[in-house]
Copies of this chain bind each other. A is one copy, B any other.
Protein backbone atom coordinates (compact mmCIF):
# COMPACT_ATOMS: atom_id res chain seq x y z
CA UNK A 1 0.00 0.00 0.00
CA UNK A 2 2.43 2.67 -1.23
CA UNK A 3 0.34 5.79 -1.18
CA UNK A 4 3.06 8.43 -1.38
CA UNK A 5 6.76 9.10 -1.69
CA UNK A 6 8.85 11.14 0.73
CA UNK A 7 12.47 12.23 0.35
CA UNK A 8 14.25 12.67 3.67
CA UNK A 9 17.54 14.60 3.68
CA UNK A 10 19.84 13.58 6.54
CA UNK A 11 20.16 10.11 8.10
CA UNK A 12 21.14 11.26 11.56
CA UNK A 13 19.05 10.32 14.55
CA UNK A 14 15.75 12.04 13.79
CA UNK A 15 15.94 11.60 10.02
CA UNK A 16 16.40 7.84 10.32
CA UNK A 17 13.67 7.55 12.95
CA UNK A 18 11.31 9.52 10.70
CA UNK A 19 12.22 7.36 7.72
CA UNK A 20 11.39 4.18 9.62
CA UNK A 21 8.05 5.51 10.80
CA UNK A 22 7.05 6.77 7.36
CA UNK A 23 8.03 3.44 5.83
CA UNK A 24 5.98 1.66 8.48
CA UNK A 25 3.04 3.74 7.25
CA UNK A 26 3.49 2.25 3.79
CA UNK A 27 5.06 5.34 2.27
CA UNK A 28 7.95 5.00 -0.16
CA UNK A 29 10.94 6.64 1.53
CA UNK A 30 14.19 7.81 -0.04
CA UNK A 31 16.70 8.68 2.69
CA UNK A 32 19.83 10.64 1.70
CA UNK A 33 22.94 11.06 3.82
CA UNK A 34 25.94 13.03 2.62
CA UNK A 35 28.36 11.14 4.86
CA UNK A 36 29.35 7.50 4.53
CA UNK A 37 27.54 4.63 6.18
CA UNK A 38 28.58 5.08 9.81
CA UNK A 39 28.38 1.33 10.29
CA UNK A 40 31.42 1.06 7.99
CA UNK A 41 33.30 4.32 8.66
CA UNK A 42 32.87 6.26 11.90
CA UNK A 43 31.56 9.79 11.26
CA UNK A 44 34.02 12.43 12.22
CA UNK A 45 33.86 15.45 14.35
CA UNK A 46 31.50 18.00 15.70
CA UNK A 47 28.90 15.99 17.57
CA UNK A 48 28.90 14.70 21.11
CA UNK A 49 29.69 11.05 21.82
CA UNK A 50 26.79 10.36 24.15
CA UNK A 51 23.43 11.92 24.82
CA UNK A 52 20.67 11.99 27.39
CA UNK A 53 17.58 10.11 26.26
CA UNK A 54 14.41 10.80 28.23
CA UNK A 55 10.65 10.34 28.07
CA UNK A 56 9.85 12.42 24.99
CA UNK A 57 12.47 10.57 22.99
CA UNK A 58 11.41 7.17 24.34
CA UNK A 59 7.79 7.72 23.32
CA UNK A 60 8.93 8.35 19.74
CA UNK A 61 11.16 5.24 19.79
CA UNK A 62 8.23 3.24 21.13
CA UNK A 63 6.19 4.44 18.16
CA UNK A 64 8.53 2.52 15.83
CA UNK A 65 8.88 -0.43 18.23
CA UNK A 66 12.52 0.19 19.22
CA UNK A 67 12.15 1.50 22.77
CA UNK A 68 13.01 -1.70 24.59
CA UNK A 69 15.94 -2.51 22.29
CA UNK A 70 17.42 0.96 22.81
CA UNK A 71 16.88 0.94 26.57
CA UNK A 72 19.08 -2.15 26.77
CA UNK A 73 21.97 0.00 25.51
CA UNK A 74 21.33 2.81 28.02
CA UNK A 75 22.74 3.64 31.42
CA UNK A 76 20.18 5.20 33.77
CA UNK A 77 21.26 8.50 35.35
CA UNK A 78 19.20 9.21 38.44
CA UNK A 79 20.52 12.65 39.20
CA UNK A 80 23.39 15.06 39.14
CA UNK A 81 26.55 14.25 41.08
CA UNK A 82 28.01 17.63 41.99
CA UNK A 83 31.79 17.76 42.49
CA UNK A 84 32.79 20.79 44.57
CA UNK A 85 36.09 22.59 44.20
CA UNK A 86 37.30 20.96 47.40
CA UNK A 87 36.35 17.51 46.10
CA UNK A 88 33.16 16.92 48.09
CA UNK A 89 30.39 15.01 46.39
CA UNK A 90 26.70 15.86 46.62
CA UNK A 91 24.05 13.86 44.77
CA UNK A 92 21.00 15.79 43.57
CA UNK A 93 18.27 13.49 42.18
CA UNK A 94 16.46 14.56 39.01
CA UNK A 95 13.16 13.79 40.65
CA UNK A 96 11.74 12.74 43.99
CA UNK A 97 10.45 9.59 42.30
CA UNK A 98 12.52 6.43 41.99
CA UNK A 99 11.06 5.63 38.55
CA UNK A 100 12.14 8.95 37.03
CA UNK A 101 15.58 8.91 35.47
CA UNK A 102 17.28 9.89 32.21
CA UNK A 103 19.45 7.64 30.07
CA UNK A 104 22.98 7.98 28.83
CA UNK A 105 23.12 6.54 25.34
CA UNK A 106 25.80 6.40 22.64
CA UNK A 107 24.94 8.68 19.70
CA UNK A 108 26.52 6.34 17.18
CA UNK A 109 25.13 3.21 18.83
CA UNK A 110 21.61 4.60 18.66
CA UNK A 111 22.06 5.79 15.09
CA UNK A 112 23.30 2.34 14.05
CA UNK A 113 20.29 0.66 15.70
CA UNK A 114 18.04 2.98 13.69
CA UNK A 115 19.95 2.43 10.41
CA UNK A 116 19.82 -1.33 10.90
CA UNK A 117 16.07 -1.14 11.34
CA UNK A 118 15.70 1.20 8.33
CA UNK A 119 17.61 -1.18 6.12
CA UNK A 120 15.20 -4.02 6.86
CA UNK A 121 12.34 -2.16 5.19
CA UNK A 122 11.48 -2.88 1.54
CA UNK A 123 9.97 0.53 0.85
CA UNK A 124 12.90 2.50 2.30
CA UNK A 125 16.02 3.24 0.24
CA UNK A 126 19.20 4.43 1.93
CA UNK A 127 21.62 6.61 -0.07
CA UNK A 128 25.01 7.33 1.50
CA UNK A 129 27.56 9.83 0.13
CA UNK A 130 24.51 11.63 -1.22
CA UNK A 131 24.67 15.36 -0.58
CA UNK A 132 21.67 17.61 -1.12
CA UNK A 133 22.80 20.60 -3.23
CA UNK A 134 19.47 22.36 -3.46
CA UNK A 135 15.76 21.81 -3.13
CA UNK A 136 13.07 22.84 -5.62
CA UNK A 137 10.76 23.89 -2.84
CA UNK A 138 7.47 23.81 -4.73
CA UNK A 139 8.23 20.62 -6.64
CA UNK A 140 9.29 18.35 -3.79
CA UNK A 141 12.51 17.73 -5.70
CA UNK A 142 16.14 17.67 -4.62
CA UNK A 143 19.39 17.83 -6.52
CA UNK A 144 21.80 15.38 -4.92
CA UNK A 145 25.47 14.97 -5.58
CA UNK A 146 27.13 11.62 -5.16
CA UNK A 147 30.22 12.50 -3.14
CA UNK A 148 32.17 9.56 -4.57
CA UNK A 149 31.33 9.81 -8.29
CA UNK A 150 30.62 13.54 -8.34
CA UNK A 151 27.45 12.85 -10.31
CA UNK A 152 24.49 15.16 -9.64
CA UNK A 153 20.96 13.92 -10.18
CA UNK A 154 17.45 15.19 -9.55
CA UNK A 155 14.94 13.24 -7.54
CA UNK A 156 11.31 14.14 -7.06
CA UNK A 157 8.73 13.05 -4.50
CA UNK A 158 5.47 14.18 -2.99
CA UNK A 159 7.31 15.76 -0.07
CA UNK A 160 10.88 16.66 0.92
CA UNK A 161 11.72 16.69 4.63
CA UNK A 162 15.03 18.14 5.80
CA UNK A 163 16.39 16.50 8.93
CA UNK A 164 19.89 17.58 7.99
CA UNK A 165 20.88 19.29 11.21
CA UNK A 166 22.08 22.72 12.27
CA UNK A 167 23.81 23.36 8.93
CA UNK A 168 20.77 22.21 6.94
CA UNK A 169 20.97 22.41 3.16
CA UNK A 170 17.19 22.21 2.93
CA UNK A 171 16.90 25.26 5.21
CA UNK A 172 19.46 27.07 3.03
CA UNK A 173 17.23 26.52 0.00
CA UNK A 174 14.39 28.13 1.94
CA UNK A 175 16.58 31.00 3.14
CA UNK A 176 17.70 31.65 -0.44
CA UNK A 177 14.08 32.64 -1.07
CA UNK A 178 13.86 34.99 1.88
CA UNK A 179 11.74 37.82 0.38
CA UNK A 180 9.12 35.45 -0.96
CA UNK A 181 8.88 33.30 2.17
CA UNK A 182 9.59 36.18 4.63
CA UNK A 183 12.10 33.72 6.06
CA UNK A 184 12.94 34.71 9.61
CA UNK A 185 16.22 33.27 10.85
CA UNK A 186 18.64 33.66 13.71
CA UNK A 187 21.87 32.01 14.77
CA UNK A 188 23.31 32.85 18.19
CA UNK A 189 26.50 31.43 19.58
CA UNK A 190 27.58 31.20 23.18
CA UNK A 191 30.85 32.77 24.21
CA UNK A 192 31.60 29.25 25.52
CA UNK A 193 32.82 26.33 23.45
CA UNK A 194 33.25 22.69 24.39
CA UNK A 195 35.97 20.07 24.30
CA UNK A 196 35.59 16.36 25.02
CA UNK A 197 37.93 14.32 27.21
CA UNK A 198 37.41 10.90 28.78
CA UNK A 199 37.72 8.75 31.87
CA UNK A 200 38.90 5.30 30.77
CA UNK A 201 37.19 2.18 32.13
CA UNK A 202 38.66 0.47 35.19
CA UNK A 203 39.71 -3.17 35.30
CA UNK A 204 37.04 -5.40 33.80
CA UNK A 205 34.99 -2.42 32.64
CA UNK A 206 34.54 -0.99 36.13
CA UNK A 207 33.14 2.53 36.50
CA UNK A 208 35.69 4.72 38.31
CA UNK A 209 33.13 7.26 39.49
CA UNK A 210 29.42 6.78 40.23
CA UNK A 211 27.86 5.00 37.27
CA UNK A 212 24.24 6.13 37.53
CA UNK A 213 24.69 9.87 37.54
CA UNK A 214 25.42 12.83 35.32
CA UNK A 215 28.52 14.31 36.93
CA UNK A 216 29.05 18.06 37.09
CA UNK A 217 32.05 20.09 38.18
CA UNK A 218 30.39 23.55 38.41
CA UNK A 219 32.94 26.36 38.54
CA UNK A 220 30.79 29.49 38.03
CA UNK A 221 32.32 30.75 34.77
CA UNK A 222 32.89 27.31 33.33
CA UNK A 223 32.17 23.66 34.06
CA UNK A 224 32.94 20.06 33.23
CA UNK A 225 30.35 17.29 32.93
CA UNK A 226 30.62 13.50 32.57
CA UNK A 227 28.18 10.93 31.18
CA UNK A 228 28.74 7.18 31.57
CA UNK A 229 29.25 4.77 28.67
CA UNK A 230 28.43 1.04 28.62
CA UNK A 231 32.10 0.01 28.53
CA UNK A 232 32.82 1.64 31.91
CA UNK A 233 34.26 4.82 30.43
CA UNK A 234 32.85 8.31 30.85
CA UNK A 235 32.77 11.04 28.24
CA UNK A 236 33.84 14.30 29.83
CA UNK A 237 32.86 17.60 28.29
CA UNK A 238 34.51 20.87 29.26
CA UNK A 239 32.30 23.93 28.70
CA UNK A 240 34.68 26.87 28.84
CA UNK A 241 34.71 30.41 27.49
CA UNK A 242 36.96 31.12 24.52
CA UNK A 243 38.57 34.08 26.22
CA UNK A 244 39.64 35.00 29.74
CA UNK A 245 41.09 33.09 32.67
CA UNK A 246 39.62 29.66 31.92
CA UNK A 247 39.43 30.33 28.22
CA UNK A 248 40.41 27.89 25.50
CA UNK A 249 42.38 30.76 23.95
CA UNK A 250 44.48 30.94 27.13
CA UNK A 251 44.93 27.25 27.83
CA UNK A 252 47.42 26.81 25.01
CA UNK A 253 50.39 24.97 26.51
CA UNK A 254 50.73 21.76 28.49
CA UNK A 255 52.09 23.78 31.43
CA UNK A 256 49.13 26.15 31.44
CA UNK A 257 46.56 23.38 31.08
CA UNK A 258 48.21 21.31 33.79
CA UNK A 259 48.33 24.20 36.26
CA UNK A 260 44.74 25.04 35.46
CA UNK A 261 43.39 21.49 35.86
CA UNK A 262 45.28 21.04 39.14
CA UNK A 263 43.46 24.05 40.51
CA UNK A 264 40.03 23.70 38.91
CA UNK A 265 39.51 19.93 38.58
CA UNK A 266 41.75 18.47 41.30
CA UNK A 267 39.44 15.59 42.30
CA UNK A 268 39.14 14.49 38.69
CA UNK A 269 42.85 14.25 37.94
CA UNK A 270 43.46 10.78 39.43
CA UNK A 271 40.95 9.38 36.89
CA UNK A 272 42.37 11.09 33.79
CA UNK A 273 46.12 10.50 33.60
CA UNK A 274 46.01 10.96 29.80
CA UNK A 275 44.06 14.24 29.83
CA UNK A 276 46.82 16.47 28.47
CA UNK A 277 47.12 14.40 25.31
CA UNK A 278 43.35 14.40 24.80
CA UNK A 279 43.17 18.12 25.48
CA UNK A 280 45.55 18.87 22.63
CA UNK A 281 44.16 16.22 20.26
CA UNK A 282 40.47 17.13 20.49
CA UNK A 283 38.90 20.13 18.81
CA UNK A 284 36.89 22.93 20.42
CA UNK A 285 33.27 22.78 19.29
CA UNK A 286 30.89 25.73 19.12
CA UNK A 287 27.52 25.97 20.88
CA UNK A 288 24.65 27.81 19.29
CA UNK A 289 20.93 28.24 18.97
CA UNK A 290 19.24 28.34 15.56
CA UNK A 291 15.67 29.50 15.15
CA UNK A 292 13.71 30.08 11.98
CA UNK A 293 10.23 30.40 10.54
CA UNK A 294 8.59 29.21 8.33
CA UNK A 295 9.54 25.55 8.61
CA UNK A 296 7.60 24.59 5.48
CA UNK A 297 6.81 25.85 2.03
CA UNK A 298 4.29 25.15 -0.71
CA UNK A 299 2.96 21.97 0.90
CA UNK A 300 6.06 20.25 -0.53
CA UNK A 301 9.02 21.01 1.74
CA UNK A 302 9.47 20.78 5.51
CA UNK A 303 12.34 20.98 7.97
CA UNK A 304 12.38 19.44 11.42
CA UNK A 305 14.83 18.58 14.19
CA UNK A 306 18.05 20.60 14.44
CA UNK A 307 17.51 21.90 10.90
CA UNK A 308 14.56 23.89 12.24
CA UNK A 309 15.60 24.41 15.88
CA UNK A 310 19.16 23.66 16.96
CA UNK A 311 19.64 24.25 20.69
CA UNK A 312 22.45 24.23 23.23
CA UNK A 313 22.85 20.91 25.03
CA UNK A 314 22.24 21.99 28.62
CA UNK A 315 18.76 20.57 29.13
CA UNK A 316 19.60 17.21 27.58
CA UNK A 317 16.62 17.73 25.26
CA UNK A 318 18.11 18.26 21.79
CA UNK A 319 17.58 14.72 20.54
CA UNK A 320 14.39 14.34 22.58
CA UNK A 321 12.88 17.47 20.99
CA UNK A 322 13.77 16.20 17.52
CA UNK A 323 12.32 12.76 18.24
CA UNK A 324 9.20 14.49 19.55
CA UNK A 325 8.95 16.26 16.16
CA UNK A 326 8.73 12.82 14.55
CA UNK A 327 6.05 11.72 17.02
CA UNK A 328 3.96 14.87 16.42
CA UNK A 329 4.34 14.54 12.64
CA UNK A 330 3.17 10.96 12.92
CA UNK A 331 0.19 12.05 15.07
CA UNK A 332 -0.76 14.53 12.36
CA UNK A 333 -0.69 11.86 9.68
CA UNK A 334 -2.92 9.76 11.90
CA UNK A 335 -5.32 12.71 12.13
CA UNK A 336 -5.07 14.08 8.60
CA UNK A 337 -3.83 11.29 6.35
CA UNK A 338 -1.38 12.57 3.74
CA UNK A 339 -2.88 16.01 3.09
CA UNK A 340 0.50 17.77 3.18
CA UNK A 341 -1.01 21.18 2.47
CA UNK A 342 -2.75 20.93 5.82
CA UNK A 343 -0.22 18.85 7.75
CA UNK A 344 2.85 21.02 7.12
CA UNK A 345 1.44 24.33 8.45
CA UNK A 346 -0.21 22.50 11.34
CA UNK A 347 3.09 20.81 12.24
CA UNK A 348 4.79 24.21 12.26
CA UNK A 349 1.97 25.65 14.37
CA UNK A 350 2.14 22.86 16.97
CA UNK A 351 5.91 22.72 17.20
CA UNK A 352 7.33 26.20 16.71
CA UNK A 353 6.50 27.73 20.10
CA UNK A 354 7.60 24.52 21.79
CA UNK A 355 10.93 24.51 19.96
CA UNK A 356 11.48 28.11 21.04
CA UNK A 357 10.65 27.16 24.62
CA UNK A 358 13.14 24.31 24.84
CA UNK A 359 15.77 26.58 23.23
CA UNK A 360 15.18 29.15 25.98
CA UNK A 361 15.12 26.52 28.71
CA UNK A 362 18.43 25.07 27.51
CA UNK A 363 20.03 28.51 27.68
CA UNK A 364 18.62 29.03 31.21
CA UNK A 365 19.99 25.69 32.31
CA UNK A 366 23.50 26.63 31.26
CA UNK A 367 23.44 29.30 33.96
CA UNK A 368 22.00 26.83 36.43
CA UNK A 369 24.50 24.06 35.77
CA UNK A 370 27.69 26.06 35.83
CA UNK A 371 26.75 28.29 38.70
CA UNK A 372 23.51 27.90 40.63
CA UNK A 373 23.74 24.17 41.39
CA UNK A 374 26.32 25.21 43.99
CA UNK A 375 24.22 28.04 45.47
CA UNK A 376 22.65 27.62 48.94
CA UNK A 377 19.14 28.86 48.20
CA UNK A 378 19.16 26.75 45.03
CA UNK A 379 20.20 23.65 46.98
CA UNK A 380 17.41 24.24 49.50
CA UNK A 381 14.94 24.74 46.64
CA UNK A 382 15.99 21.43 45.06
CA UNK A 383 15.60 19.69 48.45
CA UNK A 384 12.04 21.02 48.81
CA UNK A 385 11.27 20.04 45.22
CA UNK A 386 12.39 16.48 45.99
CA UNK A 387 10.25 16.35 49.13
CA UNK A 388 7.26 17.68 47.19
CA UNK A 389 7.75 15.11 44.43
CA UNK A 390 8.17 12.31 46.97
CA UNK A 391 5.03 13.31 48.87
CA UNK A 392 2.62 14.59 46.23
CA UNK A 393 2.07 12.61 43.04
CA UNK A 394 0.73 15.73 41.28
CA UNK A 395 3.83 17.85 41.87
CA UNK A 396 6.54 18.22 39.21
CA UNK A 397 9.49 20.62 39.36
CA UNK A 398 10.46 22.59 36.25
CA UNK A 399 13.04 19.95 35.40
CA UNK A 400 10.49 17.18 35.90
CA UNK A 401 7.83 19.00 33.87
CA UNK A 402 10.21 19.19 30.94
CA UNK A 403 11.81 15.79 31.34
CA UNK A 404 9.26 13.45 32.87
CA UNK A 405 5.90 14.84 31.70
CA UNK A 406 6.03 14.38 27.95
CA UNK A 407 2.29 14.96 27.59
CA UNK A 408 2.93 18.63 28.50
CA UNK A 409 4.23 20.66 25.52
CA UNK A 410 7.57 22.39 26.17
CA UNK A 411 6.00 25.87 26.05
CA UNK A 412 3.59 24.99 28.85
CA UNK A 413 6.26 23.20 30.85
CA UNK A 414 8.39 26.34 30.58
CA UNK A 415 5.60 28.68 31.62
CA UNK A 416 4.56 26.69 34.67
CA UNK A 417 8.10 25.63 35.53
CA UNK A 418 9.41 29.17 35.56
CA UNK A 419 6.58 30.36 37.79
CA UNK A 420 7.18 27.51 40.23
CA UNK A 421 10.93 28.06 40.14
CA UNK A 422 10.66 31.74 40.90
CA UNK A 423 8.15 31.31 43.70
CA UNK A 424 10.02 28.51 45.43
CA UNK A 425 13.36 30.27 45.10
CA UNK A 426 11.83 33.47 46.49
CA UNK A 427 10.50 31.78 49.61
CA UNK A 428 13.80 29.92 50.05
CA UNK A 429 15.76 33.17 49.78
CA UNK A 430 13.53 35.26 52.06
CA UNK A 431 13.39 32.47 54.63
CA UNK A 432 9.59 32.25 54.77
CA UNK A 433 9.92 28.61 53.73
CA UNK A 434 11.00 27.87 57.34
CA UNK A 435 7.61 29.02 58.70
CA UNK A 436 5.69 26.72 56.36
CA UNK A 437 4.93 23.02 56.38
CA UNK A 438 5.25 21.01 53.20
CA UNK A 439 1.51 20.94 52.61
CA UNK A 440 1.37 24.72 52.60
CA UNK A 441 4.19 24.87 50.06
CA UNK A 442 2.45 22.25 47.94
CA UNK A 443 -0.78 24.22 48.09
CA UNK A 444 0.96 27.37 46.86
CA UNK A 445 2.72 25.57 44.03
CA UNK A 446 -0.41 23.81 42.81
CA UNK A 447 -2.14 27.20 42.91
CA UNK A 448 0.35 28.43 40.31
CA UNK A 449 -0.54 25.44 38.18
CA UNK A 450 -4.22 26.41 38.26
CA UNK A 451 -3.40 29.90 37.05
CA UNK A 452 -1.54 28.48 34.04
CA UNK A 453 -4.15 25.93 33.11
CA UNK A 454 -6.93 28.55 33.17
CA UNK A 455 -4.90 30.99 31.03
Tell whether A204 is near chain B: CB-to-CB under 8 Å: no
Interface centre among A178, A189, A288 (most CB of B within 10 A): A189
Q: Whole-angstrom distance from the CB of A116 to the nearest CB of chain B?
A: 32
> In the complex, which residues of chain B have a beta carbon less than 8 angstroms from the beta carbon of A184?
186-189
Interface centre among A182, A184, A191, A288 (most CB of B within 10 A): A182
- Indicate how many identical chains form the complex: 2
Interface of A is mostly: strand
Tell whether A185 is near chain B: CB-to-CB under 8 Å: yes
Give the complex CA separation of A191 and B181 in angstroms: 11
Tell whether A261 is near chain B: CB-to-CB under 8 Å: no
Residue from B186, B242, B286 in contact with A186 in the complex, judged by beta carbons closer than 8 Å: B186
Q: Flag A263-305 by CB within 8 Å of B: 1 or 0 each.
A: 0000000000000000000000010100000000000000000
Residue from B179, B182, B187 in contact with A178 in the complex, judged by beta carbons closer than 8 Å: B187
Give the complex CA separation of A188 and B179 in angstroms: 11
Interface centre among A179, A191, A288 (most CB of B within 10 A): A179
Question: In this complex, what residue of B is CB-closest to A179?
Answer: B286
Contact between B183 and A187, CB atoms less than 8 A apart? yes
Question: In this complex, what residue of B is CB-closest to A291?
Answer: B186
Q: Whole-angstrom distance from the CB of A34 to the nearest CB of chain B?
A: 18
Give the complex CA separation of A183 and B183 in angstroms: 19
Give the complex CA separation of A382 and B68 in angstroms: 67
Residue from B179, B182, B183, B286 in contact with A182 in the complex, judged by beta carbons closer than 8 Å: B286
Q: Flag A171-182 by CB within 8 Å of B: 1 or 0 each.
A: 000000011001
Give the complex CA separation of A189 and B288 in angstroms: 22
Given known pairs A179-B286, A286-B179, the reply for A187 and B187 (CB within 8 Å) is no
> In the complex, which residues of chain B have a beta carbon less than 8 angstroms from the beta carbon of A188?
184, 186
Contact between B186 and A185, CB atoms less than 8 A apart? yes
Q: Whole-angstrom distance from the CB of A279 to the nearest CB of chain B?
A: 20
> In the complex, which residues of chain B have a beta carbon less than 8 angstroms from the beta carbon of A182?
189, 191, 242, 286, 288
Q: Whole-angstrom distance from the CB of A48 to the nearest CB of chain B?
A: 16
Question: In this complex, what residue of B is CB-closest to A286?
Answer: B179
Residue from B183, B187, B242, B286 in contact with A185 in the complex, judged by beta carbons closer than 8 Å: B187
> In the complex, which residues of chain B have a beta carbon less than 8 angstroms from the beta carbon of A178?
187, 189
Beta-carbon contacts under 8 Å, A160-214 to B: 178-179, 182-189, 191
> What 10 pairs across the A-B complex have the smallest Cβ distances?
A186-B186, A182-B189, A184-B188, A179-B286, A185-B187, A184-B189, A184-B187, A182-B286, A185-B186, A178-B187
20 contacts between A and B (CB under 8 A): A178-B187, A178-B189, A179-B286, A182-B189, A182-B191, A182-B242, A182-B286, A182-B288, A183-B187, A183-B189, A184-B186, A184-B187, A184-B188, A184-B189, A185-B185, A185-B186, A185-B187, A186-B186, A186-B187, A186-B188
